Structure 1
């Protein structure tokens, strides 16, 4: 879990792990990951999904 405030190397987010991978696949150089998480995790290092 990482977060970036600007263009550059993201900081390691040591607060909580708020997302869960459901499945993933790679086809012709494209990677798709299906995951779930709350829209607002109340974690200061997570951006709420609106």
Structure 2
């Protein structure tokens, strides 16, 4: 295993981790936003009834 190969491996691993982190982060944000929207709509529905 050459030093160059090792560096490439580290970079791709770091990139993978970064991408997975970004995806996970945005997914949780989306879920939280949806959850908040749902709570709001439930309140509106209750007020109408």
TM-score by length of 2: 0.16
* Bigger Cα Rg: 2
Q: Could you say which structure has the greater relative contact order, defined with CA pairs below 8 angstroms and 6 or more residues apart?
A: 1
Q: Which has the higher helix share?
A: 2
TM-score by length of 1: 0.16
Q: Which has the higher strand share?
A: 1
